[in-house]
Structure 1
Amino acid sequence: MDSQAAWRSHKIRHLPIVDSDNNLLGLTTVKNLRQKLQPINMMKWRKVAEIMKTGVIYVHPDDSVRQIARLMADNTISCVAICQTDPKTSLVRPLGIITERDIVQFQNLNLDLRQPARDVMSAPLFLISPDDSLWSVHQQM
C-alpha cells in the first residue's frame, strides 16, 4: 500500500516530521504533499542529464542542406546539430542547428539545397548544462 492510500484508509491528514531522536521538526499535510508533487515542482528537482539524448548526430558547417535532409530522413531524426571539431582536443563545439521544419521551409521557398549548413543554420544557440534543472531550462525556452 502506498503512503497516500495509507493516509486515506486511516483518515490521516497531518504527519509530524521528527529527527532521529524523535524531536519535532515540522509538520506536513496531504495537501502540501500533493502541491509539491505537481509536475512543475518535480521539474525543479530533476536534471537535464536525466532526459538528454546522447549519441547526437551532427554535421560539419560545410555540409549541404541536401546532405543534411538525407541524413535526417535516413536516421528518422528531427534535427541535426551543426558542429566544429577542435583538431587539437577533438572536442565537438555546437555552432547551430537545422530542424525538419527548416528543411520544409527551405523547400517551400525554393532555396538551393546545395547551400552549406553554415549559411542557413539557426545560430547562435542557447546552450545548457547537464546539471541545469528541468525547471530552469523550461523557463528559458
Structure 2
Amino acid sequence: MVAQRTEPPLDCLSIAWRGVTVLLDRQELARKAAVQPSPWTTEAERLALIESQRASALLSAAATGKGENGCTQIHGALDGEAKAMVLAALESGSATVLLDGSKAPVTAVAIRYLGTRRGPLCGRGHIMVYVPGQSRPFLVQDWWVS
C-alpha cells in the first residue's frame, strides 16, 4: 500500500479512470517539465530528461478551464509517457485519489507488479494500481515485454 496526499494541490490536473479521479500537482509537473534537453553524462541526468518529457506530455494533454473539482481536466486517452508520469506520482504518494461521487480522498492505493512468462524467452509485465476494496485496477501500465 502506498499512502497518497489527503488534500488536493491548489493548482492541479484531474485525470478520470474507471470510477477514480487522480489529482496531480500542476506546479510540480511544470518544475519537472522545465528541465532543458542537453547531452546527459550521468544516469540521474538521463532520468531527469525522461521525467521532463513525460511531465511535458501530461501538461500538454490538459484542457483549458477547470472541472467540477477545481482542477484542470485531462480528456481522452493518455499516451504511455503521460501514463508513466501518473504512475510515478502514485508510486511516490504525491497524488490525490478520489472515488467517483466522493469528496474524501482515498488514503492509500495498492500497486501490483505482475510478470508472466510464456516460455523460456517470452513474457510481459504490467503495473496495476487499485483502490483497496475494488476488484479491478483503475490504471494498468506496461512494465516490460520480451
Q: Is the structural similarity TM-score above 0.5?
A: no
Richer in helix (by share): 1
Bigger relative contact order, structure 1 or 2 (CA pairs below 8 A, ≥6 apart) = 2
Richer in strand (by share): 2
Between structure 1 and structure 2, the one with the greater Rg is 1
Q: Normalized against structure 2, the TM-score is what?
A: 0.24
